Chains A and B, each alone.
Chain A
Amino acid sequence: KAGVTQTPRYLIKTRGQQVTLSCSPISGHRSVSWYQQTPGQGLQFLFEYFSETQRNKGNFPGRFSGRQFSNSRSEMNVSTLELGDSALYLCASSLDGTGNTQYFGPGTRLLVL
């Protein structure tokens, strides 16, 4: 079974721009969670989607948003990029997000200049 895939793997943007990252979960998994990893803050939960609905959200500003499609694929968007948004963005999928094991993708490395 194919694992979680994320595209693109690397991205360079400038301040003020917006960015969209994509995540395809493991086949049959309906929950997708997003995380941000920075050297200073570590791995932090952004939000989780299930059946095209956001069910849980971490403490991030409204510039961070996401959505999920009917095939469970998910995208996250960051608007008005700031230098501090430079990070590794990870998505993880699980069967239904209620306690099943989560499996992570390789991440998207975003650099904001």
Chain B
Amino acid sequence: DAKTTQPPSMDCAEGRAANLPCNHSTISGNEYVYWYRQIHSQGPQYIIHGLKNNETNEMASLIITEDRKSSTLILPHATLRDTAVYYCIVRVPIGGTSYGKLTFGQGTILTVHP
């Protein structure tokens, strides 16, 4: 799986959009970008994933650049409960042979301020 680079920490004001960047310059053509978050001492929570096109769900939006070397997770209206560590992960698609292994980096600590 390709390596990802994220800023160690970011701040955001409550009610504002939080834009979390991720670099994955060595991503392969068939690798997906996944985002998880982990609120203190809980299990990681799946947020969203994508391959090429921008994706949106009830939690967030994922913007992937055309060359796929970077992506941005957008939380449109951040709340205090969005304070967490956000992990960007690149992984092989369905049918791949990494068999259940996700490679986590250090992630970005997002702090949402009142």
Q: Give residues in A with beta carbon < 8 Å to B.
A: 4, 31-33, 35, 42-45, 48-50, 55-56, 58, 88, 90, 92, 94, 97-107, 109
Contact = CB atoms under 8 A, between A and B. Distances in A.
Nearest to A55: B99
B43 A97 contact: no
B43 A99 contact: no
A48 B87 CA distance: 20
Interface of B: 32, 34, 36, 41-46, 49, 87, 91-106
Contacts, number: 78
A6 B49 CA distance: 25
A56 B49 CA distance: 23
A70 to B, nearest CB: 18
Contact of A100 (B87, B94, B106): B94
Contacts of B93: 99
A94 B46 CA distance: 12
Contacts of A42: 104-106
B100 A92 contact: yes
A5 to B, nearest CB: 11
